[in-house]
Structure 1
Amino acid sequence: MQNSLFQKLQYVNAYRKNRQELANYVLSHPNLFEELLNHCFEADADTAFKSCWILEFVCKEKLNWILPHIDYFLINIKHLNHDSAIRPCAKICELLCIEYFKNSPSKIKDRLNKNHLEQLSEINFDWLINDEKVATKAYAMQSLYLLGKKIDWIHPELKKVLEQGFSSHSAAYKARARHILNKL
């Protein structure tokens, strides 16, 4: 079955239906999750970003599956350098933050510790400051806004970064930044 997932990844394309089909395959074979996660951080960029696409879809359905691998995930996402791999991982980080800051009990809250939250903060600030695509920056803004509810220094830094970058970014960036600034 190991070759089977790798082979299926070779035929994935950007069509949402195609990505969802492979995500459904992984969802119906939970034992493949770790292999999928490992493919996300392979040297072969093509396999890595396709794996990240699928990982995002799987995490939207089963976010808790990443918890046993959270340290591996957080250590490795900071080394991604392909836009098509970074964007889905930024979305997964946003999903983790949203779940962590919900008012109801969750396994995410139980599992993520102060170190994980600090790592998420660092990664998301890097994405926000570096030359990333707007979607990645938008996910980072939302994650940092949420993380700032628990980590005191984040909101003042986030406000500063958003205000400094406001004039030099696209309309989409400005719209999301304005939304976050209004919340701050």
Structure 2
Amino acid sequence: MRNFEERLKGGHPNSLGNTVEIVEEVLAQNDLFDELFNCYFSDDEVVRLRTSNAMKRVCKKQKVLLIPYLDRFLTEISTIDQASTQWTLAQLFGMLEKEMTDAQIEKAKEIMKANLANHTDWIVLNQSMDTLAKWAKKDLDLKEWLLPHLNRLTSDHRKSVSTKAQKMMEKLR
């Protein structure tokens, strides 16, 4: 036990804290991944934010570590009501698509569609649009569902959201 949860606490909420150091430990000693994953269940939202950042970093270097946890990301982590968790899921789903089963992809679509339809956080919206638009290129049902939502978001008052929605619509045409 490396006490990751305690080491991810404190400091400015937008800083990485010890995230990079912990990622390096997990990459060097893969059996530590479970301890890092379980930091998602911390009561501390900063710990959960940094855990999400760590997951993206681990996925980029050794995505094989996340594959056995895909079902838990889809069923447990997806229920965490925190924007950073939701936007990270959209990113992870995009990175792990080739490793996911059809059923896992369908569940991931449900999660991201719900986020796109209901979430207000601009990063959640942008990351969900990214992955859903990528997947919609080869999924006509998803494309049909997505286009009206993208159209709605082109009128969003936040420039990053409206611009992203416009770009995604253009890519799907």
Asked whether the two chains share a fold, i.e. TM above 0.5, the reply is: yes
Using the TM superposition, give the Cα deviation of residue 148 of structure 1 relative to its aligned residue in structure 2, in angstroms. Answer: 2.0
Per-residue Cα deviation, 1:45-72 (whole angstroms, up to 9, x for no partner): 3432222221222112112211111111
TM-score normalised according to structure 2 size: 0.86
Distance 1:27 1:91 in 2: 19
Residue in 1 that maps onto 2:68: 68
Residue in 2 that maps onto 1:8: 7
The 1:151/1:41 distance shift into structure 2, 3 A limit, reads: farther
Give the aligned CA root-mean-square deviation in angstroms: 2.2
TM-score normalised according to structure 1 size: 0.81
Residue in 1 that maps onto 2:101: 113
For 1:96, the aligned partner's letter is L
1:62 is paired with a residue of what secondary structure? helix
Residue in 2 that maps onto 1:91: 91
Q: How many residues align?
A: 171
Q: Which runs of 5+ in 1 are unaligned?
A: 101-107
The 1:11/1:24 distance shift into structure 2, 3 A limit, reads: farther
Per-residue Cα deviation, 1:17-53 (whole angstroms, up to 9, x for no partner): 7432222122122111112112213444343222222
Residue in 1 that maps onto 2:154: 166
Q: Which runs of 5+ in 2 are unaligned?
A: none
Per-residue Cα deviation, 1:46-99 (whole angstroms, up to 9, x for no partner): 4322222212221121122111111111112321112233333332222224xx
Identity of aligned residues (%): 23
Using the TM superposition, give the Cα deviation of residue 121 of structure 1 relative to its aligned residue in structure 2, in angstroms. Answer: 0.6
CA contact (8 A) 1:91 1:136 kept: no
